[in-house]
Amino acid sequence: MFETLKTYLRYTSWPIIAAMVILVGWGVLAINASEQADPAIGGYALRQARFAGVAMAAFAVATLLPYQVLGRYAYLMFAVTLALLAVVLRLPLIRHSHRWIVMAGVQVQVSEIAKLSYVIMLAWYLRYRKNYRRLPGLVVPFGLTFVPLVLILIEPDLGTSLLFLPTLYLMLFMAGAKLRHLLGIMAVATVVVLFPLPKRLDPDAPPPALSYGVLNLGGQRCAFSPAALALMEPHQRIRVHSWLHQEELKSSDRGYQLAQSKMVIGAGRLSGYGDWSDGEMYFQMLPEDHTDFIFSVVAGRWGLLGCAGVLLLYGVIFLLGAEIAVITYDPFGRLLAVGVLALLFAQIVINVGMTMGLMPVTGMTLPLVSYGGSSLVVNCTALGLLVNVGQRRPILLAPRPFEHADDS
pLDDT given for residue 318 in this prediction: 96
pLDDT given for residue 122 in this prediction: 95
Instruction: Please answer whether residues 280 and 37 qualify as being in contact, where contact means their C-beta atoms are separated by less than 8 angstroms.
Output: yes
- CA dist., res. 36 & res. 43, Å (int): 10
- CA dist., res. 76 & res. 117, Å (int): 9
Instruction: Please answer whether residues 350 and 159 qualify as being in contact, where contact means their C-beta atoms are separated by less than 8 angstroms.
Output: yes
Residues 6+ apart with CB under 8 A from 113: 81, 84, 374, 378
- CA dist., res. 267 & res. 82, Å (int): 44
The domain spans of the chain are: 8-194+233-391, 195-232
Q: What is the pLDDT of residues 378-404, one digit of tens each?
A: 999 999 999 999 887 655 545 566 666
Nearest to 16 by CA among 404, 389, 395, 350: 389
Q: What share of the chain is helix, strand, coil (3-state, %, to 5)?
A: 65, 5, 25
Judge if the upstream peptide bond of residue 156 is cis by omega within 30 degrees of 0: yes
Tell me the pTM: 0.87
pLDDT given for residue 323 in this prediction: 92
Q: How do 220-226 and 100-103 pair as beta strands?
A: unpaired
- CA dist., res. 130 & res. 127, Å (int): 9
- CA dist., res. 83 & res. 236, Å (int): 27
E strand segments, 181-256? 196-200, 213-217, 220-226
Q: What is the pLDDT of residues 8-64, one digit of tens each?
A: 666 788 899 999 999 999 999 999 888 877 777 778 899 999 999 999 999 999 998
Spell out, as residue ranges, where the chain has pLDDT lower than 70.
1-10, 96, 204-205, 207, 209, 246-255, 274-285, 288, 393-408
pLDDT given for residue 215 in this prediction: 77
pLDDT given for residue 400 in this prediction: 62
pLDDT given for residue 86 in this prediction: 92
pLDDT given for residue 358 in this prediction: 85
pLDDT given for residue 393 in this prediction: 67
